[in-house]
């Protein structure tokens, strides 16, 4: 009888809980399932290529096809990307945003809805379902690729209208996500009782207040915080922080200290000194916008002298993530392949843009440059010659022979004597753009060449 009584009490308790806290029960079930899968996901990370030893693929572009098929499309490509020398893929924001199935994710609503809750007008995100996302991450890990999450924590969108005692006017700051995690109200946004503002707002969206302990707890401190859930449950390996101009560098630093993983910030500024400052304060990498704008000026303006300009990779190559195009900006039309030849032979961690690799440029040539980056482009950089049409630089080698890259932006073949690191050594062009195989002199000098509007990369045969 005593056993039966206990059983009835348990049934009553479960029934009461289900009827009064459905989201809470879902959360408990979700957490239990999450804990069971964490060990498998951590094990799957063993054997991943170290981030930075290869090349990152930006695995999306603005307005990829809607309809929930993008995760499946990317999954079909991860093994071939890995075979080509990619070491990580950067995904768009993966959680449910205000525009539901039509959103690119940069207007985040529920950080824990990966396409499994019916809210914001859809169940799936633009890219697919939670199940499809998990399948993609698992397939990427099996292909030895790390997966980088795009983290949007400056602003939120999709909240309900509520009175705001700090401004005296109502605003859209009442967030009630169906995941049952990270509810938000006006005190979690600027202005509030503790903080009036931070570095900046974006697009008129409610500006998340990182000074509030509740916000910090849910973003990175709690055991089921966004940071820890994304890493330990979903299986993400690193972070790309969106619009970091909107909040202080310590936010990124604290997130990184809480969960680790490769981290890079989008500090959109062409000043290399500013990028170096932000990277140092945040203690993470930064996209090298200074390099991007110098390349734009060099190749669009047909003046390679611009490549002499200051860039983050020249100041701190270990913190520079270089790129030729991304989902926000694509201004290098003339000589885009030459720009890739530049970043894939120079210091920094280079990124390939999905559409350049899969649609717009020669995949064969990009694969060749990725191979060159991964196998020859080691050590410090020495710039050997720069003028309006020609750029020649030497990588001095680190556990490899190094290389000489010759970029020719003119309309005719060019030849130039340059000093290498190799004495009495036969060298070849690893791009196949020249069939020369000269032998360096005893003093390490040699004549090399490059075809018009093209490039060559030289190293010992």
Question: How far is 341 from 355, CA to CA, in rounded Å?
Answer: 17
160 is catalytic: no
Question: How far is 238 from 441, CA to CA, in rounded Å?
Answer: 46
Nearest-CA neighbor of 449 among 402, 408, 420, 421?
408
266 is catalytic: yes
Nearest-CA neighbor of 235 among 115, 145, 108?
145
Q: Where are the beta strands (DSSP E) in 59-110?
A: 86-90, 96-97, 108-110
Q: How many CA atoms lie within 13 A of 273 on its CB side?
A: 0
Question: How far is 25 from 14, CA to CA, in rounded Å?
Answer: 9
Query: Token digits for 31?
Result: 């957490």
CA 38 distance to own-chain centroid: 23
DSSP-derived 3-state class of residue 129: coil
Nearest-CA neighbor of 127 among 164, 93, 87?
93
Q: Exactly one of 266, 276, 356, 429 is catalytic; which is it?
A: 266
Asked if 276 contacts 316 with a C-beta cutoff of 8 angstroms, the reply is yes
Q: Known binder of ligand: residue 154?
A: yes
Question: How far is 369 from 261, CA to CA, in rounded Å?
Answer: 27
Asked if 142 contacts 132 with a C-beta cutoff of 8 angstroms, the reply is no
Q: How many CA atoms lie within 13 A of 222 on its CB side?
A: 15
Residue with tokens 């239990």: 32
CA 52 distance to own-chain centroid: 12
Q: Give the end-to-end CA distance of the chain in Å, rounded to a whole number.
A: 86
Question: How far is 381 from 377, CA to CA, in rounded Å?
Answer: 9
Question: How far is 238 from 48, CA to CA, in rounded Å?
Answer: 12
DSSP-derived 3-state class of residue 54: coil
Q: Exactly one of 107, 150, 188, 242 is catalytic; which is it?
A: 242
Query: Token digits for 154?
Result: 């400056």
Residue 399 exposed, middle or buried by CB count within 10 Å (0-12, 13-18, 19+): exposed
Asked if 214 contacts 188 with a C-beta cutoff of 8 angstroms, the reply is yes
Q: Known binder of ligand: residue 176?
A: no
Q: Which residues are catalytic?
A: 242, 266
* Binding annotation for Ca(2+): 154, 387
Annotated binding site: 154, 387
């Amino acid at each position: 009888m005593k056993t039966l009584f206990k059983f009835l009490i348990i049934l009553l308790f479960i029934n009461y809980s289900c009827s009064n806290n459905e989201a809470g029960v879902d959360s408990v079930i979700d957490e239990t399932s999450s804990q069971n899968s964490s060990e498998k996901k951590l094990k799957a990370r063993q054997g991943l290529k170290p981030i930075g030893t290869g090349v990152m693929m930006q695995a999306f572009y603005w307005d990829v096809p809607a309809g929930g098929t993008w995760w499946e499309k990317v999954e079909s490509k991860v093994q071939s990307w890995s075979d080509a020398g990619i070491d990580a893929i950067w995904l768009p924001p993966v959680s449910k945003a205000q525009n539901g199935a039509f959103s690119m994710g940069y207007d985040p609503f529920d950080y824990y809805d990966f396409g499994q809750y019916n809210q914001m007008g859809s169940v799936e995100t633009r890219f697919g379902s939670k199940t499809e996302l998990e399948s993609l991450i698992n397939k990427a890990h099996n292909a030895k690729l790390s997966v980088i999450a795009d983290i949007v924590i400056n602003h939120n969108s999709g909240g309900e209208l509520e009175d705001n005692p700090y401004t005296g006017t109502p605003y859209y700051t009442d967030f009630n996500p169906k995941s049952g995690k990270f509810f938000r109200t006006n005190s979690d946004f600027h202005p509030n009782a503790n903080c009036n503002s931070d570095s900046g707002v974006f697009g008129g969206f409610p500006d998340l207040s990182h000074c509030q302990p509740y916000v910090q707890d849910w973003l990175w401190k709690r055991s089921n915080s966004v940071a820890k859930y994304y890493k330990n449950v979903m299986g993400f390996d690193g972070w790309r922080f969106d619009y970091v101009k909107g909040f202080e560098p310590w936010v990124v630093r604290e997130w990184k200290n809480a969960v680790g993983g490769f981290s890079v910030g989008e500090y959109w500024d062409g000043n290399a000194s500013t990028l170096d400052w932000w990277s140092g304060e945040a203690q993470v990498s930064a996209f090298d916008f200074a390099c991007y704008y110098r390349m734009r000026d060099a190749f669009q303006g047909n003046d390679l002298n611009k490549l002499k300009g200051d860039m983050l990779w020249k100041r701190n190559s270990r913190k520079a993530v270089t790129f030729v195009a991304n989902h926000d900006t694509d201004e290098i039309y003339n000589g885009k392949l030459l720009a890739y030849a530049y970043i894939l032979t120079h210091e920094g961690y280079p990124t390939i843009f999905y559409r350049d690799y899969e649609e717009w440029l020669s995949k064969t040539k990009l694969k060749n440059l990725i191979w060159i980056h991964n196998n020859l482009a080691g050590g410090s950089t020495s710039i050997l010659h720069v003028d309006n049409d020609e750029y020649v630089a030497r990588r001095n080698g680190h556990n490899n022979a190094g290389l000489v890259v010759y970029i020719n932006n003119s309309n005719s073949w060019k030849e130039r004597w340059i000093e290498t690191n190799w004495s009495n050594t036969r060298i070849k062009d690893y791009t196949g753009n020249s069939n020369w195989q000269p032998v360096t002199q005893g003093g390490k000098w040699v004549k090399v060449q490059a075809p018009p509007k093209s490039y060559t990369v030289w190293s010992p045969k």
